[in-house]
């Protein structure tokens, strides 16, 4: 069986590294975000963005869940430590994580060179703060001479 795609609702997209810049206007003020043009190309069905560390971790993201149908994180550089429900998970360069819809999680630690590709549907997904199931370990301090 072949899926039919309504090409009137989607567009070809090719975004090169110099086409879009990392910006501070994303979900978290301690990360930088680079739009890859997928939300526009899919009419808001999917967002794909690069996310990278900008400021050393202090409090992390806080416990939250996303209202999303699909959410993956592919770690490109460095590492990040998450709590997924009550399980600590180290995500390193080359790893791919599928965050099932509604999973309660907390990104609490990351390396200065952390960078990941995030793909979410729908593009206008929301984050909802929730009470967490457990305590969070302390983040790893960055060296004093580290610049993101």
Q: Name which of 101, 104, 26 is nearest 62 in CA terms.
A: 104
What would the pLDDT profile of 101-124 be if each residue is shown by its tens digit? 999 999 999 999 999 999 999 999
Contacts of 120 (CB under 8 A, 6+ apart): 46, 47, 66, 68, 70, 71, 72
More reliable by pLDDT, 123 or 59: 123
Q: Is residue 116 in a domain? A: yes
Cα–Cα distance, 27 to 113 (Å, whole number)? 19
Q: Is residue 71 in a domain? A: yes
Cβ atoms of residues 36 and 15 within 8 Å: yes
Total domains present in the chain: 1
pTM (two decimals)? 0.90
Q: Is residue 99 in a domain? A: yes
CATH number at residue 120: 2.60.120.10
Q: Is residue 23 in a domain? A: no
**Which structural domain range is residue 74 located in?**
31-128
Q: Is residue 46 in a domain? A: yes
Q: Is residue 142 in a domain? A: no
């Amino acid at each position: 069986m072949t899926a039919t795609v309504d090409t009137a609702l989607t567009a070809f997209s090719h975004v090169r590294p110099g086409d879009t810049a990392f910006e501070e206007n994303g979900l978290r003020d301690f990360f930088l975000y680079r739009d890859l043009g997928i939300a526009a190309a899919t009419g808001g069905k999917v967002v794909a963005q690069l996310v990278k560390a900008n400021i050393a971790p202090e409090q992390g993201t806080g416990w939250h869940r996303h209202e999303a149908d699909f959410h993956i994180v592919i770690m490109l550089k460095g590492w990040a430590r998450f709590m997924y429900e009550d399980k600590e998970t180290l995500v390193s360069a080359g790893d791919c994580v599928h965050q099932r819809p509604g999973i309660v999680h907390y990104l609490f630690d990351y390396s200065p060179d952390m960078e990941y590709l995030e793909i979410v549907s729908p593009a206008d997904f929301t984050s909802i703060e929730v009470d967490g199931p457990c305590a969070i370990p302390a983040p790893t301090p960055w060296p004093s001479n580290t610049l993101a």
